[in-house]
Every structure is written in structure tokens, then in C-alpha cells.
């Protein structure tokens, strides 16, 4: 492709989605709606090959996620193998059913970092959103994580149902001794896109939440880091999704599909290469999928002549697909896009309260979506 570097810079961040199995049912899960169609999982040895090849290419940060990575019996073995390869290893988990023995086992295996998600500051709401009684479990796991000397990272996905708890969520984080809190508003892909009208906060809710986040950022300076992210839909310019397609992040799905972003699977005619068929280096450097949005040859107007194209790379292609039906359009979050109205209309539609219940992420609901 013209305009592309001959050899792209290597991946730095590897996200190993070990499994789509999860005991929780969050209605904003970023896993594909039809995840039940991808039930075959890579074996331990296949994962080891992926880990080794990615490290040889230059990946340094490694996230184990899912689904729920704790479901995999070989998690400690994979952590230990990665540790020996020299990765900085992160476990991205709900913490559900994670006991002290598991925390010790993972520490001994060389795990560097644990990020626990919590759904709300109250048991009632947490357990409702998680679709599983898990609040007490998560809180005690958070304390154990701290006790065992990990950096204590709490992640709370915000949406219309819990954003009013912002202050209580931050007080809970202080109480648990969190070193870092990620308060990330839902982004609308996967299950969250399906539930968008029920999850989207109002402008007023967002402004109130931001004020509280700023207040705590000031008062907790030097004690607890707070990272607050607003939904793309309320921005005027798109984000540089994945730091630019095929520049930094490599995601491997449970069945071995290699993805430039966690949602890439939904792109039409997008033949995801599989690690069972190709090496990581072949996939990263030569596959059509990873080269698809590299450079700017693919861009249409207004991106093509935009002075910000080297900053945002046209935004998020999966969002462009979901909203406009064409992944090569500008991300309509951008107010320079002629289709920006799709975003503002979606906000208007979402704020007219709906009686539609949330669709929870579980196998029964997944089966209604076709591959």
C-alpha cells in the first residue's frame, strides 16, 4: 500500500482474551454479541506460542482478559511463562470468586498488576448490573490485592444507572485503599451498543460527574490517581482509537483470531487472520486486516484533507461502521463529519427514557445473534 512504512513499528501491547466465558453478565460488555459462536479456545501451548512470538516482536505490556480470565485453569502457568519472557503482566478481572490462594499463586507466578472491576458503590446496584451476586466478593478481593502488594486498580464503568453514585464510588475507592481508579464512561460497542438507549447518561449527569471527579482529583493528589473518561458521543473530535490501527495494540481473541482492536471482528469482509494459521509477525506486518487502516490511503473526506488526521487517524472505524454502515467513513463523533447528526440524534433518542429492559450478556441472549 502506498504511503505506508515498509515495516510497521512492532506491537507494544498484547491483549490476550483467554476466554469468552464469564460468570458476570454486564450489559455493556465489549465482547461480540455473538460470542457463543466462538467457543473453541486456544490451548495452553498455542497461547505460549503467541506470547513468545509477540514478545520477540517487541510487545512489553500484556493484559490477560476475557470474558473472565480466572476461568482458565492454566492462568498461573501462562502468567509465569509471560513473566519469564519479560512482560509486564496485567490481570483484568471481575475478581469474582478470586480467593487468597489464587492471589498468592499468581503473585508467585510473577503477576505484576491486577485491575478489578466493580459495577457500583452499592451492593444492590452492583449485583443487578453484574447479573450476579458479586459485590461482597469484589470488595474483599480488592482488600486482598492490596494486602499482597499489588498496585490496587479499580475500574468502574459508568452509565446512566450508576453515574449518580460518583461520589460514593470515589469514597469506596478511598476506603479500599485504591492507588488508581479508572472511571470510564461506557463506550458504545458490542453489548453496550445494543443497550445504548438504556445506558447513555444525560449531559447534566455527565457534567455533575465530571465536577465530582475534578474535586477528588484535587483532594486525592499524590494519594490516589483518578482517570475519568467521558463517552465518545459527547466529544466533538474522535479519539485516536487504539492509538492508531495496527500501530501499538494487538488483541488475540479466545479462538486465536488476531484483531487490531477488540471490535474488529464485526467489520464486514474483514478476514481476521488466526494465530493457528500464521505467525504473529506475518499477521502484524503483512495481513490485509492489520494493514487495512494503516496510513491514510483509505481515508475519504473530510479526513483526507484534515489537519488533524495525524492526531486522530479518522477516529474509530468500528464506531463509523456501527453508526454510518461504512467503516471507512470518518468517525461521526467528529463534528466535521457530515454524519455527526447520527451521534447527536442518538443522544437525543437515548435521553427520552425507554421502557425497554437491558439485555444482559449471557449465552442465552448471545444465541439470538447470528455469526
Binding site for ligand FES (CB under 6 A): 241-242, 261, 263-264, 316-318
Q: Which residues are annotated as part of the binding site?
A: 22, 26, 29
- For residue 263, the minimal CB distance to ligand FES (Å) is 4
Q: Which residues are annotated as part of the binding site for [4Fe-4S] cluster?
A: 22, 26, 29
- For residue 242, the minimal CB distance to ligand FES (Å) is 6
Residue 4: count of CB within 10 angstroms of its CB: 13
- The bridge status of strand 180-185 relative to strand 225-229 is parallel
Please give the full DSSP string across 156-193, using - where no structure is assigned. Answer: EEE-TTTGGGHHHHHHHHHHHT-SEEEEEE---SHHHH
Quick check: 166 and 207 in contact, CB under 8 A? no
Whose grid coordinates read 479526513? 303
- For residue 296, the minimal CB distance to ligand FES (Å) is 15
Q: Closer to ligand FES by CB, 166 or 259: give it.
A: 259
- For residue 317, the minimal CB distance to ligand FES (Å) is 4
Q: Closer to ligand FES by CB, 158 or 316: give it.
A: 316
Please give the full DSSP string across 206-219, using - where no structure is assigned. Answer: HHHHHHHHHHHHHH
Q: Closer to ligand FES by CB, 199 or 264: give it.
A: 264
- For residue 262, the minimal CB distance to ligand FES (Å) is 6
- For residue 241, the minimal CB distance to ligand FES (Å) is 3
| Spacing of C-alpha 352 from chain mean position | 27
CA distance 214 to 227: 10
Residue 305: is it exposed, middle or buried by C-beta count within 10 angstroms (0-12/13-18/19+)?
exposed
Q: Closer to ligand FES by CB, 18 or 241: give it.
A: 241
Sheet holding 249-252, edge to edge: 225-229, 180-185, 152-158, 113-117, 88-93, 61-65, 13-17, 249-252, 258-259
CA distance 342 to 133: 37
Q: Closer to ligand FES by CB, 47 or 292: give it.
A: 292
Q: Closer to ligand FES by CB, 141 or 261: give it.
A: 261
Enumerate the β-bridge partners of residue 63: 15, 90
Amino acid at each position: 500500500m502506498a504511503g505506508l512504512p515498509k515495516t510497521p513499528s512492532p506491537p507494544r501491547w498484547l491483549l490476550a482474551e483467554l476466554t469468552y466465558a464469564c460468570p458476570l453478565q454486564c450489559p455493556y460488555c465489549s465482547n461480540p454479541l455473538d460470542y457463543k459462536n466462538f467457543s473453541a479456545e486456544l490451548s495452553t501451548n498455542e497461547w505460549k506460542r503467541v506470547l513468545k512470538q509477540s514478545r520477540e516482536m517487541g510487545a512489553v505490556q500484556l493484559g490477560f482478559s476475557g470474558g473472565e480470565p480466572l476461568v482458565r485453569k492454566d492462568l498461573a502457568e501462562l502468567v509465569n511463562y509471560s513473566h519469564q519472557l519479560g512482560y509486564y503482566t496485567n490481570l483484568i478481572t471481575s475478581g469474582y470468586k478470586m480467593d487468597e490462594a489464587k492471589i498468592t499463586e499468581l503473585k508467585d507466578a510473577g503477576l505484576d498488576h491486577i485491575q478489578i472491576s466493580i459495577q457500583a458503590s452499592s451492593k444492590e446496584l452492583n449485583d443487578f448490573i453484574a447479573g450476579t451476586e458479586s459485590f461482597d466478593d469484589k470488595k474483599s478481593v480488592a482488600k486482598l490485592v492490596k494486602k499482597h502488594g499489588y498496585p490496587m486498580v479499580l475500574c468502574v464503568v459508568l452509565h446512566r444507572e450508576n453515574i449518580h453514585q460518583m461520589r460514593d464510588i470515589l469514597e469506596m475507592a478511598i476506603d479500599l485503599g485504591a492507588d488508581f481508579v479508572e472511571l470510564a464512561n461506557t463506550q458504545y460497542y458490542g453489548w453496550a451498543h445494543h443497550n445504548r438507549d438504556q445506558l447513555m447518561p444525560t449531559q447534566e449527569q455527565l457534567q455533575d460527574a465530571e465536577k465530582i471527579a475534578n474535586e477528588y482529583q484535587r483532594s486525592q493528589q499524590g494519594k490516589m490517581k483518578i482517570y475519568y473518561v467521558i463517552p465518545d458521543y459527547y466529544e466533538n473530535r474522535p479519539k485516536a482509537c487504539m492509538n492508531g490501527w495496527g500501530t501499538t495494540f494487538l488483541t488475540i481473541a479466545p479462538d486465536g483470531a488476531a484483531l487490531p482492536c477488540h471490535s474488529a471482528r464485526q467489520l464486514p469482509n474483514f478476514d481476521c487472520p488466526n494465530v493457528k494459521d500464521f505467525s504473529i509477525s506475518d499477521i502484524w506486518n503483512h495481513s490485509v486486516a492489520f494493514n487495512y487502516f494503516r496510513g491514510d490511503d483509505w481515508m475519504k473526506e473530510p479526513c483526507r484533507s484534515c489537519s488533524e488526521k495525524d492526531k486522530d487517524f479518522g477516529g474509530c472505524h468500528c464506531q463509523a461502521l456501527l453508526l454510518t454502515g461504512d467503516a471507512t467513513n470518518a468517525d461521526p463523533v467528529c463534528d466535521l463529519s457530515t454524519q455527526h447528526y447520527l451521534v447527536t440524534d442518538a443522544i437525543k433518542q437515548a435521553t427520552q427514557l425507554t421502557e425497554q429492559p437491558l439485555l444482559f450478556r449471557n449465552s442465552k441472549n448471545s444465541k439470538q445473534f447470528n455469526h
